[in-house]
Amino acid sequence: MVTASPETLVLVILGNGGHARVVQNALLPVMAMMVDEDDERRIDQIAPQMRAMWRFVVGVGDLGKRRAMYEKYDCVGVVHGAAMVCTGAILNHGVQIMAGAIIQPGAVIGE
């Protein structure tokens, strides 16, 4: 999950369509940069020491592309402020819990 303050990292949403906008809304009030496929190619050329301060969130709806991006960029998860995650629920790395979701005690989300 995104835990660092906005001053210490750059948050990048990989995608620029409908799902990316939903993810961006879940991250508010934190500002995030949305990138498309052309921008993604440029990200790969940025020095690793600069990218170390960046955190990536997958913002594409296509499951195949989403998994590939998650694995390539070690993407962080998102929990919308209007979601309810009960004590005893387990959210694994990279999951996205959107507004209105209720995750019950004992639930395990993600791999």
Residues 61-87: tens digit of each pLDDT: 888 988 888 888 888 999 999 999 999
Query: Quick one: pLDDT band at residue 9, thresholds 50, 70, 90?
Result: confident
Do 32 and 13 contact (CB within 8 A), yes or no?
yes
- pLDDT surpassing 70 at residue 110: yes
Residue 93, C-beta contacts closer than 8 angstroms, at least 6 positions apart: 76, 77, 110
What local confidence, expressed as pLDDT, does residue 1 receive? 57
pTM of the model: 0.79
For 17-32, write each residue's pLDDT tens digit.
999 999 999 998 888 8
Integer Cα distance of 67 and 71 in angstroms: 6
Q: Cα separation of 47 and 57, whole Å?
A: 19
